[in-house]
Amino acid sequence: MQRTLYDSDHEDFRAVVRNFVQTHIEPNDEKFAAEGRLSRELWRAAGDTGMLGLCVPEQYGGAGVNDYRFNAVMDEELTRAGMAYACGLGVHTHVVSQYLVHMTTEEQRARWLPDFVSGELITAVAMSEPSGGSDLAALRTRARRDGDQWVINGSKIFITNGATADLIVVAVRTGEETGSRGISLIAVEGDAPGLDRGRTLRKIGQHQGDTAELFFDDCRVPVANLIGEEGAGFRAMMEHLAQERLASAVCNVAHARHVLELTCRYVTERYAFGASLGALQHIRFQMADMVTELDIIQTYVDACVAAHVRGDLTAIDAAKAKLKSSDIQSQIVDTCVQLHGGYGYMEEYEVARAWRDARVTRIWAGTNEIMREVIGRSLNLREPSKH
């Protein structure tokens, strides 16, 4: 089905991102995977293209574009190079940007955003904790006020860009309340005293991007690094999680489509029993099922992107997009590995690496079990009243 989401400006930007991928990512992919992180040079090159400051106001060096479709284009093209690129650069551009642009003071924006846009300042967001996982209301990391400083104690885990970030937006508990109350957001500079990066975690896939543990041992940061109002952090995280989950859905569909394209070529070129695999009816039926599922979820995700541009995407619809896109992605990538036979399990084949990289999409940005809970609660299901 012909997509109608994008216009010529978006396609022009796609060409810019595609050139960036071909010039700066593809020649260095093995290097990034071996080093387990994206280089500073890559970040600066991304800044030069204008990719990192899409929604940042022009006065700070950004594009000042209030159109999430440009973010979606960026994710689609980066994902074709590898999910780690869309993840690392996307956390910076789509997630942290929301806090730094919409919740900061003028002084904070002037201090952080110019380098954020140029790629000199790499950012991360630290929410998940070893004991809490997707339950953000249960976080234990605390910050207490000591004069003109916050003193932070606790730990975070599974932090994308955590090993290299120069600025980390950290969710902490600043009040005595339990649950979602009393949670605030504080920006921690990478060289803050008391911040220990811990180890860079060894993941099953997405080896090009760094993921780290973070430890805060009487970590001191200025009071001026509080983002937004004290105690308003949980509400802000919930508000911005919809965009993070939408970004995940965009990447999931783009990744599945890329793997399916690879497999279409493979079954055409691979011969067995005197004919190409694609000539076998069973294979054709499998391909037909996959492309149909993919087109259906693409239509829904595109509708969610359009809704987000209009400003009326709900958290429930974003959860549906993240849930279903990751399930379909996993099914498609797994089937594509099977269609490659033994070659599909070989590291040198892109489909094998894609299969490995895709598994986490049912876990991050809130597990799919959490997505089902979010969606289920919206149905207002209750036990029948007893009379």
- Yes or no: say if 198 and 213 are a contact pair by the CB < 8 Å rule: yes
Helix (H), strand (E) at residue 227: strand 226-227
- Helix, strand or coil, per DSSP, at residue 213: strand
- Yes or no: say if 150 and 220 are a contact pair by the CB < 8 Å rule: yes
The radius of gyration computed from the CA coordinates of the chain, to the nearest angstrom, equals: 22
Residues 6+ away with beta carbon under 8 Å from 354: 83, 255, 258, 259, 262, 333, 336
**Is 177 a known active-site residue?**
no
**Catalytic-labelled residue, pool 76, 230, 244, 293:** 244
- Helix, strand or coil, per DSSP, at residue 200: strand
What is the SS3 string spanning 82-120? CHHHHHHHHHHHHHHHHHHHHCCCHHHHHHHHHHHHHCC
Residues 6+ away with beta carbon under 8 Å from 385: none
- Yes or no: say if 218 and 144 are a contact pair by the CB < 8 Å rule: no
DSSP-assigned letters across all residues of 159-188: EETTTT-SEEEEEEE-SS--TTTTEEEEEE
Residues 6+ away with beta carbon under 8 Å from 300: 320, 321, 324
- Helix, strand or coil, per DSSP, at residue 347: coil
DSSP-assigned letters across all residues of 254-265: HHHHHHHHHHHH
Degrees (nearest 5) of the Cα angle 233, 237, 238?
A: 120
User: In angstroms, how far apart are the furthest CA atoms of the chain?
Assistant: 79
Quick one: tokens of 299? 């239509």
Q: Which residues are catalytic?
A: 244
